[in-house]
Chains A and B, each alone.
Chain A
Amino acid sequence: MDLFEYQGKQYFARFDIPVSPGDVAYTVDEAVAAAEAAGYPVVVKAQVQVGGRGKAGGIKLADNADEVRLHAGNIIGMDIKGHLVKRVWVEHASDIEKEYYASYSLDRGAKKHLLMLSAEGGVEIEAVAESNPDAIVLLHIDPVDGISLATARDAAVRAKIDAEAVDGVAEMLVKLYRCFTEGDCDLAEINPLILRPDGGVHALDAKVSLDNNAGFRHPEWDEFRATEELDEREQLARTHDLQYIGLEGSVGIIANGAGLAMSTLDVVNQVGGAASNFLDIGGGANADMMTAALEVINSDQSVKSIFINIFGGITRGEEVAKGIVEALRRVELRAPIVIRLDGTNAEEGRSILANAGIPESKLTSKPTMLEAARAAVALANGTN
């Protein structure tokens, strides 16, 4: 789950990472109130999860209430690269001496945590990596040991952080590491991390991505989930705990397992069709989940056929079959189903489907993934 900047800053604050005083605002009046509390001058920043906000006019400086009113009024409701701005973050404008970059992520190849630190912040780190790779210090951290203040300080020196900022940056790196690990982040990034003329350092921006798998130990994430911007189909899937991603095609896809679901998309594509979604009902899917999955697919107007591709392992064929029968009883599906069922208890599942009295216009069974894909695509394209 990716956080908005303001949420990232609120998350940082939990780990004592200094950020500018500020608040989130959904209306012009709230923006003015936030500005008064933060103290002028302030920066009004559009809250969208896309780069290039400044260029699009989504970040403005304001010296008084009238200017906040003007800018907040323009920014709220603005469209930035297809993202509607619903809220702004208003914070006290900082005097900036220097801009640095710091982030932690997991290096999957090395299976260690990776600190990236650079004295060249405030720009896209990818651009720095390309133009001046030596300006970025990369440091692997063993998750068992973590990072010590001494190591952090050493990294800051190697990154050519200005001498007066080294201690502040080192402390910041230790705090950010705590946020990354204890806060269960996939990514914790500060860009820019600024040095002020008074010698202090703080986070001027926040990019935080949380690991959904760790949600069970973070009840405080509920408020972040509430602001996640999902399309209607994705929202419905979320309530049923299904892995769903909306796409543009006309063949609805239900598969068990992420790999098989991806592969199903590929095969549908190869035989001339296009999937309307990615949907993984997961391991151990039962009748209720299959019903929910079909309801989600059915809510999509563009679906012309539904391809259910199940290879049972932990998922059992008879449960899948019962789910389909139950779903057909509960909802009037807009499109016919083509199913391919193999693996654990597949025969039992197939016989449940065969004996449920479902007309062939609503459900056909195919023995292989390729044949089922061809049949589903033919139905969707009206070429059968």
Chain B
Amino acid sequence: MAIFVNADTKVIVQGLTGGQGKYHGLRNQAYGTQVVGGVTPGKGGTDVAIPEGGSIPVFNSVAEAVAATGATASFIAVPPKAASAAILEAAAAGIAFIVCITEGIPAQDEAKVFNTLLRDYPNTRLLGPNCPGIISPGKCNIGITAGEIAQLPTASGPNVGIVSRSGTLTYQALYELKQRGIGVSTCVGIGGDPVPGTNFIDCLKEFQADPETHAIIMIGEIGGSAEEEAAEFIKANVTKPMSAYIAGVTAPEGKKMGHAGAITSGGKGTAQGKMDALRAAGVKVGLNPTEAGDLMAEIVKSL
């Protein structure tokens, strides 16, 4: 088991012939992910060579790619201008799981895409935009995570699920667990944009239901109220032990810390408020990623 993606997941890459799409699409393929096709309008019929041998076919549209390959997931690596259309094209073609790594999509576009999916394609899940992607170690890696930093899960467990709002802190969390030899069931980077397709609660729900996940690490950051809402959900629904870290304790108020979402104003969205809410929900909160890793090591030992 794992959440959202596993060894059977067939993936196409929208933008496979572009710089980022090719580099990361091939890395995902080399990791063992079933990358069955690429989509670039106008380049259908060509293919992208795999360095170790073989090639990945390129199609003109997602619909063609799905018809030919049976893909159920898509990895979108196209520029911000083209990203909204790419997401909606994938959804219309019946893709069930879309990972969009594109950074810099206008918030108005994101809000429109999110609500269009909600209404017209309720069975499609969007991860991102502006996220590192998802990895179920040893099974499937979609996105830009370096697969080698993810510790493989063990059959007997305990294994840990990771959900994070920040890209690089997702890697940091994987790394902290790897250092301690703790297996990871699935690691989801939900992204730091104001309107993420998948949120903490969506992932926590899946992790709670996943028999292969025994504990959960959550990495949040300042801004918005996603962590507070997650804390409410945890209190009522999550029985698996958790540790967490919130980035931005020292961030000055009123300054956007890079992510469009990461800003505190009027005392709202602060790291302290989020940490308090999580602690009140029974989550062990570390003051830095390493401490969150240490706390998880204690949890795992007790399981």
Contacts and interface: CB of A to CB of B under 8 A. Distances in A.
Our verdict on whether A and B bind, yes or no, reads yes
Interface of A: 106, 108-109, 111-113, 126, 142-144, 181, 184, 186, 211-214, 216-217, 243, 245, 247, 255-263, 265-270, 275, 278, 280, 282-284, 311-314, 342-344, 368-370
A368 B107 contact: no
B267 to A, nearest CB: 11
A311 B171 CA distance: 7
Contacts of A258: 166, 192, 221, 257-259, 262
Contact of A186 (B107, B164, B249): B107
Given A112-B111, A143-B111, A314-B24, A259 B249 contact: no
Given A258-B262, A262-B257, A266-B287, A108 B115 contact: no
B195 interface: yes
Given A106-B107, A108-B195, A126-B266, A256 B168 contact: yes
B108 A143 contact: yes
Contacts of A311: 168, 171-172, 175
A269 B249 contact: yes
A211 B107 contact: yes
B144 A283 contact: yes
A269 B144 contact: no
Max chain A Cβ within 10 angstroms of own Cβ: one of B168, B245, B288: B168
Contacts of B260: 211-213
Given A213-B106, A243-B258, A311-B175, A259 B288 contact: no
Contact of B80 (A142, A144, A213, A267): A213
A306 to B, nearest CB: 18
Given A213-B80, A314-B144, A342-B175, 20 more contacts: A108-B225, A109-B226, A109-B229, A111-B195, A112-B111, A184-B107, A212-B260, A213-B104, A259-B169, A261-B258, A263-B288, A265-B248, A265-B251, A311-B171, A313-B167, A342-B171, A343-B149, A343-B171, A344-B146, A370-B290
Contacts, number: 174
A267 B288 contact: yes
A263 B169 contact: yes
8 contacts: A106-B111, A257-B169, A260-B247, A263-B245, A266-B287, A280-B257, A314-B24, A314-B144
Contacts of B108: 143, 181, 184, 211, 214
A262 B114 contact: no
A255 B107 contact: no
Interface of A is mostly: mixed
A245 B229 contact: no
Max chain B Cβ within 10 angstroms of own Cβ: one of A257, A263, A342, A368: A263
B78 to A, nearest CB: 14
B115 to A, nearest CB: 5
Interface in B196-225: 219, 221-222, 224-225
Nearest to B81: A216
Max chain A Cβ within 10 angstroms of own Cβ: one of B103, B107, B149, B262: B107
Contacts of A268: 250
Max chain A Cβ within 10 angstroms of own Cβ: one of B80, B105, B115: B115
Contacts of B112: 143-144
B125 interface: no
B72 interface: no
A374 B70 CA distance: 51
Contacts of A257: 166-169, 258
Interface in B239-268: 245, 247-252, 255, 257-262, 266
Contact of A144 (B115, B132, B226): B115
B115 A369 contact: no
B119 interface: yes
A65 B152 CA distance: 77
